[in-house]
Amino acid sequence: MTKIKMREQDPAERVKNFNEVAMGLSEEDAVAEAKRCLQCKKALCMSGCPVEIDIPAFIKDIVEGKYEKALFKIREKNSLPAVCGRVCPQEDQCEKACVLSKKGAPIGIGYLERFVADWELKKKREYVAHTDLPKESPAHKKHAHGKKVAVIGSGPAGLTCAGDLANMGYDVTVFESLHKPGGVLMYGIPEFRLPKAIVEAEMNYVKHIGVKLEVNFLAGKTGTIDELREQGFKAFFVGIGAGLPYFLGVEGENLNGIYSANEFLTRTNLMKAYLFPEYDTPIRVGERVGVVGAGNVAMDSARCALRLGAKEVSIIYRRSEQEMPARREEIIRAKEEGIRFELLTNPTKFFGDEKGWVKGAELLRNELGAPDASGRRRPVPIKGSEFRMKLDTVIIAVGQGSNPLLPATLPDLKVTDDGTIVCNDDLMTSIPGVFAGGDIVTGAATVISAMGMGKKAARSIDKYLMS
């Protein structure tokens, strides 16, 4: 039997809206999929989950129709199940490790996780209104000892760390520089892949278990860690992500109409350009858009540009399809939507009009050479293969680095040459009592790996404050 297929909006329709593409499983399909699980004694799937959810247990609950119990089983390890069920790269994690994947059809673990999380949301039950939570539910725990911990950054790493510390009895405040919490979940990943109402609902849960939230607080500028120490905070978790965009460094890259993916997606998602004219914050993309890069960020940018009205959107990538870092299913969806793939191609310069707006790019064709340090085959330029492409908007999505602002205010904080924060095995930085995790430590990675580090740091902070 093959893995269940999730219903999706039709490509011709979905390119005209920002509604979620993947529509979730029906109850019947979810139970049928759950029944395929072999309930292995040695559940290999769990070894593929960075936060070690008891996967067979929650799947068994689904088979028995005990969806709430399934949700609590997941929440023991993962405070953002509706998010992870949608954006986790399951094909490289839990599902890859599932024993059935060797036979080609792993259990749709992510789909099932999403199913129970959505089941709860559909019932429109506010977590705050829960009166029937099981005894072991975190929502019944109070600030046992009330020691104050500050979490800087409200992405998945910060939110997970904050949630776990609140469950342990700490008085936790999250400080976030933007006006909305959620990190990349809120400003980066578009509505059609991760609806913001879902992120907000997951956030309500974290608030409900006692976490306080202070937005518009740029740590290092609005206040420093030393100032927070004076206010009684005893330990810190830094989860400020990797939000500093990289550029190509080629001629013409500062022309108008050339955006970093970070700016483009923030304007589209957080500033709600996609809801213009309801929100007075439009973004003009013109007819032809080029997106440089082929990771999740590039796919998201390309698909947003299409939905914002562009007629032709091209992914420009220097290697071949095999090396593209984006999730396979997102590449397939991008193709279904009509995104063009200009592979083995690199822009060498951008040219503009007399008013300084981009008009196009000069590009060079590559062929693949020997593998480089990343293990992927190196792109080698083909001499004389230059060609031009007309473009009205260019989005650069070739990776992000660490934001240097906060580390610059902490002279004793050890950082690598790339700007990532150096931590010991307990995720403590070179400053006692200051811990870190997520993309600011690993460099750009995944939601679930950031959450895994947030969890680990919470345990270490507890150990530190209790010793």
| Closer to ligand SF4 by Cβ: residue 40 or 431 | 40
Note whether 33 and 26 are within 8 A (CB): no
Query: What is the nearest approach in angstroms of ligand FAD to the Cβ of residue 80?
Result: 11
In the list ligand SF4, ligand FAD, none, the entry touching 78 (Cβ below 5 to 8 angstroms by class) is: ligand SF4
Residue with tokens 């032709």: 312
Tokens 């072991």 sit on residue: 136
Rounded CA separation 237/258 (Å):
35
Residue 2 and residue 105 in contact, taking contact as beta carbons nearer than 8 Å: yes
Binding partner at 445 among ligand SF4, ligand FAD, none, C-beta below 5 to 8 Å by kind = ligand FAD
Among 4, 49, 344, 406, binds ligand SF4 (CB under 6 A): 49
> How much of the chain is in helix, strand and coil states, percent to nearest 5?
35, 20, 45
Q: Which residues pair with 237 in a beta bridge?
A: 151, 435
Site for ligand SF4 in 141-200 (CB under 6 A): none
Name the minimum Å distance from CB 428 to ligand SF4.
Answer: 25
Least distance to ligand SF4, CB of residue 89, Å:
8
* Residue 99 touches which member of ligand SF4, ligand FAD, none, C-beta under 5-8 Å by kind: ligand SF4
Q: Which is nearer to ligand FAD, 101 or 403 (CB)?
A: 403
Q: Toward ligand FAD, which CB reaches closer, 258 or 440? A: 440
Size of site (CB under 6 A) for ligand SF4: 27
| Region from 48-56, 163-171, 255-263, 357-365 binding ligand SF4, contact rule CB under 6 A | 48-56
List 20, 33, 61, 113, residue binding ligand SF4 (CB under 6 A): 113
Cβ 269 vs Cβ 197: under 8 Å = no
CB nearer to ligand SF4: give 47 or 231: 47
Give the type of residue at 234: K
- By a kind-dependent CB cut-off of 5 to 8 A, residue 43 interacts, out of ligand FAD, ligand SF4, none, with ligand SF4
Nearer to ligand SF4, 77 or 288 (CB): 77
Strand pairing report for 244-245 and 400-401: antiparallel
Residues near ligand FAD (CB under 6 A): 87-89, 152-158, 175-178, 183-184, 188-189, 217-220, 239-241, 243, 265, 296-297, 300, 327, 403, 405-406, 438-440, 444-448, 450
- Which one of the spans 45-53, 131-139, 318-326, 400-408 is the region binding ligand SF4 (CB under 6 A)? 45-53
Binder of residue 40, out of ligand SF4, ligand FAD, none (CB less than 5 to 8 A by kind): ligand SF4
Q: What is the DSSP string of 252-312?
A: TTTSBTEEEHHHHHIIIIIS-GGGTTTSS------SEEEEE--SHHHHHHHHHHHHTT-SE
> 156 vs 290, which CB is nearer to ligand FAD?
156
The count of other CB atoms within 10 Å of the CB of residue 265 is 24
The torsion of the CA quartet 109, 112, 113, 115, rounded to 10 degrees, works out to 160
Tell me 3's DSSP state: P
The interface region with ligand SF4, picked from 25-33, 41-49, 131-139, 409-417 by CB under 6 A, is 41-49
Shortest distance, position 57 Cβ to ligand SF4, whole Å: 9
Closest distance to ligand SF4 from the beta carbon of 3 (Å):
11
Shortest distance, position 455 Cβ to ligand SF4, whole Å: 11
How many whole angstroms separate alpha carbon 313 and alpha carbon 286? 10
Euclidean distance between CA atoms 15 and 24, whole angstroms: 19
Distance CA 150, CA 240 (A): 13
Q: Which residues between 373 and 432 bind ligand SF4 (CB under 6 A)?
A: none
Residues in CB range of 253: below 8 A, 6 or more apart: 247, 350, 396
Smallest distance, Å, CB 71 to ligand FAD? 20
Instruction: Please state whether beta strands 233-238 and 148-152 pair in parallel, antiparallel, or not at all (unpaired).
Output: parallel
Pairwise CA distance, residues 18 & 9, whole Å = 11
How far does Cα 149 stand from its chain's mean position? Answer: 24
Q: Which of 40, 63, 121, 275 binds ligand SF4 (CB under 6 A)?
A: 40
Give the separation between CA 158 and CA 454, rounded to whole angstroms.
6
Q: What is the dihedral of CA 157, 160, 166, 169, to 10 degrees?
A: -90
* 201, interface contact from ligand FAD, ligand SF4, none, CB < 5-8 Å by kind: none
Residues 435-464 that bind ligand SF4 (CB under 6 A): 448
Query: Any contact of residue 45 with ligand SF4 (CB under 6 A)?
Result: yes
DSSP lists the bridge partners of residue 400 as 245
Cβ-based nearer residue to ligand SF4, 84 or 157:
84
Q: How far apart are CA 209 and CA 56, in angstroms?
A: 27
Strand positions, DSSP E, 161-257: 171-175, 212-214, 233-238, 244-245
Residue 241 CB, nearest approach to ligand FAD (Å): 2
Binding site for ligand SF4 (CB under 6 A): 37-40, 43-45, 49, 51, 53, 55-56, 78, 84-85, 88, 90, 93-94, 98-100, 107, 109-110, 113, 448
